[in-house]
Chains A and B, each alone.
Chain A
Amino acid sequence: MNKNSNDYNLEKLTFYSNLISYSLCFIVLILYFSFILIIGFKPEIFHKTLPNSSITYGIFSGLFIIIISVFLTFIYVLLSNLFLDKLKK
């Protein structure tokens, strides 16, 4: 391999890797800080309950953020293992 194609591959890897990392980061931070901002500014939103249940929007979104965080780490591992790792070869 000559040097240029190596550089090109590294650039491609850096680009996709940053794209994946920062987008997923962004999703997590947006979800979390919306949750916190609702608690800070408009807590009434979280008083409502889901239909026919005692689960409030607040508790639902809290548990949802925990589950989605775990799910997004799974997505990241999947994308890295199946896609990014191939670019490293």
Chain B
Amino acid sequence: MKLYLFLTLLIFPFSVMASESSSKNFAALVFGIFVFITLLITYFASKKNFNKSNYYAAGGKISGFQNGLAIAGDYMSAASFLGISGLVFFSGFDGLIYSIGFLVGWPIILFLIAEKLKNLGKYTFADVTSTRLKQSKIRILSASGTLVTVIFYLIAQMVGAGSLIQILFGLPYYYAIWIVGLLMIIYVSFGGMIATTWVQIIKAILLILGATALAVMVLNDYSFSIGKLLEEASNVHPEKKSILYPGQLITDPISAISLGVALIFGTAGLPHILMRFFTVPDAKSSRISAFYATTFIGYFYILTFVIGFGAIIFLTDNNSYMDTNNNLIGSNNMAAIHLSHALGGDIFLGFISAVAFATILAVVSGLTLAGASAIGRDLYVFVIKKGKSDEKKEILVSKISSVFLGIIAIILGIIFEGQNVAFMVGLAFAVAASTNFPILFLTISWKNLTTNGAMYGGFIGLFSALIFVFLGPMVWVETLGFEDAIFPFKYPGLFSMSISFFSIITISLIDKKNKDEKKFKELTKKSYLGSK
């Protein structure tokens, strides 16, 4: 039965695309091989997947280098590959502002939390907060923070995936959503963290290779000089030299800072990223994995920068890729895809398309696993069963949750077809920065934190992020059609995170009779030395 399912999924993309052009056939072939290999890994992982450690944390056997690649795989989404290169193509410098924001969170994660996470926790970041705070209360908050982040991020990825695959492979939107949804359910429920990790690693390698090839082809024409590349791009682009300095993206400083805060501290609160630090054997490997992740991600963003400027040179005024209104054919996100065709022909276009598809699949799998762990472990075991549940049941609940989350993602992906979902990524980062990061950071570093402070303050942070986004320009004006936003800023990160920290600290100080300095001392020791 399982094998049959594997095979249909494998053959499916080919049969649909048989009549399309050679690039689409090649894309289907590369993607087919990717799916075949990852399903094979899933099959082997499913055979030994019957304990918690394997299911949530790949048995803690992933090396620092491998985990660095896997983290990079989790983090380099299709949105950053296609979205940022597209943004650079349209507005040059402004695209760079985003990529820097996405990168700068990484050193912060390494310096402040990577090692302590591994020393204090086992499978989810709520394990860390509950080493000193009361299990059931703090797990409700952590699980809510995780699920809100995961679901919004998932919707954004699914909708992006559907429309992208529609353009790349000529598949109908619904088929694309179903393929992505079903594959991710199979990876996560049968293969757990082992399969998810290898999906990330393979995808990260493919993406880095593909983007490197693309950037090298661009730079090759300009004798590998960034200066010459920029000069040529600014000659060709309709806005000339102004693409080389700040443009329209940031006009008021408060929005700029708020965006920066959400990107940096949101990254440090993304549950599917935090979870990866539990898959290595010790804190030292955790440190090494954050270092490799930062290196790969930094390198990758430099590539997207080169690719974006390359796209300006090779695509502008070329009517195979631009329509009569001077827009890219397909969508704003197609710059890297069209560039791959312009430089490497059908075969390379096919390869890059398949890589983009694999990228989406890998990111949604990581998200689903993080969400499923929050339900199975944090909510089911520690809130509902008060910590008394056997291992088999816990894994079963997690697996059912992953199927359930997958189905929700498919349904929401279909409901939100054609909607502008860009705000959902922003929302996911804002919630991560205003709930997950503050409680995690204060658990590790502030001795006066109490359970009540963390829980009520964390929920205040969570709701303020949601309310500010809802009342802000992106939902209130652009989606609901009201004239003026009640909350004036597009990115609420600065405000919701400050409110969160302020509430957690104030409530903890009022609640000081419940503080437990002895536990904090134990935690500090354990956070440096591990459980030895």
Contact = CB atoms under 8 A, between A and B. Distances in A.
A83 to B, nearest CB: 13
A73 to B, nearest CB: 5
B100 A62 contact: yes
A84 B253 CA distance: 39
B110 A73 contact: yes
Interface of A: 10, 13-14, 17, 20-22, 24-25, 28-29, 32-33, 35-37, 39-41, 43, 46-47, 49-50, 53-56, 58-59, 62-63, 65-67, 69-70, 72-74, 76-77, 80-81, 85, 88
B257 A37 contact: yes
B290 A65 contact: no
A3 to B, nearest CB: 12
Contacts of A65: 100, 103-104
Interface in B209-267: 226-228, 230-231, 234, 244-246, 250, 252-254, 256-257, 260, 264
A58 B92 CA distance: 11
Interface stretch (B19-27, B135-143, B523-531): B523-531
A62 B93 contact: yes
Contacts of A54: 227-228, 230-231, 234, 244
Most chain B CB within 10 A, of A14, A56, A74, is at A56
Contacts of B284: 80-81, 85
A29 B105 CA distance: 9
Nearest to B92: A59
6 contacts: A21-B111, A33-B257, A43-B245, A54-B227, A62-B97, A88-B528
Contacts of A63: 96, 226, 302, 305
Contacts of B302: 63, 66
B107 interface: yes
B294 A70 contact: yes
4 tightest A-B CB contacts, nearest first: A40-B253, A54-B231, A43-B246, A53-B227
A43 B101 CA distance: 17
A25 B108 contact: yes
A29 B245 CA distance: 21
Nearest to A27: B107
A46 B246 contact: yes
Nearest to B233: A54
B227 A25 contact: no
Contacts of A24: 107, 111
Given A14-B524, A36-B257, A66 B244 contact: no
B391 to A, nearest CB: 31
Contacts of B301: 66
Given A29-B264, A58-B245, 15 more contacts: A10-B524, A14-B524, A25-B107, A36-B260, A39-B256, A40-B250, A55-B226, A56-B244, A65-B100, A65-B103, A69-B294, A73-B107, A73-B291, A77-B288, A77-B291
A70 B295 contact: yes
B257 A58 contact: no
Q: How large is the interface on B (under 10, 10 to 19, 20 to 34, 35 or more residues)?
A: 35 or more
Given A39-B97, A66-B301, A70-B298, A76 B110 contact: yes
Interface in B141-188: none
DSSP class of A's interface residues: helix, strand, loop or mixed?
helix
Contacts of A47: 245
A78 to B, nearest CB: 10
Contacts of B231: 54
A42 to B, nearest CB: 10
B112 interface: yes
B498 to A, nearest CB: 15
A28 B257 contact: no
A61 to B, nearest CB: 9
B287 interface: yes
A72 B111 CA distance: 10
B252 A40 contact: yes
A1 B213 CA distance: 57
Nearest to A88: B529
Contacts of A43: 245-246
A64 to B, nearest CB: 10
B103 A69 contact: yes
B423 interface: no
Contacts of B106: 69, 73
A25 B109 CA distance: 9
Contacts of A76: 107, 110-111, 287, 291
A70 B254 CA distance: 27
B99 interface: yes
Contact of A72 (B107, B112, B528, B529): B107
Contacts of A39: 97, 246, 250, 256
B103 A66 contact: yes
Interface string B283-300: 010011011001100110
Contacts of A53: 227
Nearest to A40: B253
Contacts of A37: 253, 256-257
B104 A59 contact: no
A59 to B, nearest CB: 6
Contact of B528 (A17, A36, A55): A17
Most chain B CB within 10 A, of A46, A47, A74, A76, is at A76
A35 B100 contact: yes
A79 to B, nearest CB: 11
A32 B100 contact: yes
Contacts of B110: 73, 76-77
Nearest to B99: A66
Interface in B322-356: none
